[in-house]
Amino acid sequence: MRSRTTAALSSLEMVKVEKHVRTVRSYVRREGRITDAQRRALRELWPQYGVDLADEPFDFAALFGRRAPVMFEIGFGNGEALCELARTHPQNDYVGIEVYRPGIGSLLLKLETLMLRNVRVVGDDAEHVFVEHVPADSLDAVYLFFPDPWPKKRHHKRRLIQPDFVARVARSLRAGGCLHIATDWQDYAEYALAVASQTPKLENTAGQHAYVPRPDERLLTRFERRGQALGHQVWDLVFRRVV
């Protein structure tokens, strides 16, 4: 039988989409440069923070050893924003989903340094995770910060924000829970606004066809700072799940 660590590493090395198969992916498989520290983190820290997906839906009380509000971040990159949210909101539990191994390694290193206990990490396709593993009415917030915009028209089908996916996310939220999207790509912001506005059970907290001011709790990440330096504007959308 494979050890838990070996199983964890293999699940990270190959992002599996088991039952639910999406033919077009929202990401390109890229290994990038992985540092020795990130590699060490994937090997040694995964057993502490990583979630090996089983066939059952998540049992958050068992995962965190307590009952607390659960928030998800989809595509956390290097985990900067997720760590800041978890550090400043110890009363909440956080699950980060990412497919980029060096990014997962970076987040694990930060979790170790900050000794955070309220974060778990999933190394799989967010769509698969939401379809197969996240129970309905279970989350208090879902964050999607700067999803890949796939700007070319022929690539729009690769965008993570699609009506079916947003409907899945809406279903996973508790009544009153929020989906927060931030993007620095105007066309994607308008598209996300249209998709979320047409999703049953979601209500725009800013009113119809409007964006919210940048919420203070969203950390200014390296990605956003770089965009700001290039003069990019950022659009924040917060939609609430209604009954």
Ligand X SMILES: C[S@@+](CC[C@H](N)C(=O)[O-])C[C@H]1O[C@@H](n2cnc3c(N)ncnc32)[C@H](O)[C@@H]1O
Closest CA to 161 of 176, 174, 173, 150: 150
**For strand 235-241 and strand 173-183, is the pairing parallel, antiparallel, or unpaired?**
antiparallel
Q: What share of the chain is helix, strand, coil (3-state, %, to 5)?
A: 40, 20, 45
- Least Å distance, CB 208 to ligand X, is 27
Among residues 104, 160, 167, 202, the one that binds ligand X under rule CB under 6 A: 160
* Edge-to-edge strand ranges of the sheet holding 235-241: 119-122, 93-97, 70-74, 139-145, 173-183, 235-241, 202-204
* Residue 191 interacts with ligand X (CB under 6 A): yes or no: no
Cβ nearer to ligand X, comparing 65 with 215: 215
Quick note: the x/- pattern for ligand X over 171-190, rule CB under 6 A, is --------------------
* Residue 134 interacts with ligand X (CB under 6 A): yes or no: no
Among residues 49, 60, 146, 211, the one that binds ligand X under rule CB under 6 A: 146
* Residue 104 interacts with ligand X (CB under 6 A): yes or no: no
Residues 6+ apart with CB under 8 A from 90: 118
Is residue 59 flagged as an active site residue? Answer: no
Positions that interact with ligand X (CB under 6 A): 26-27, 74-77, 97-100, 103, 125-127, 145-148, 160, 221, 223
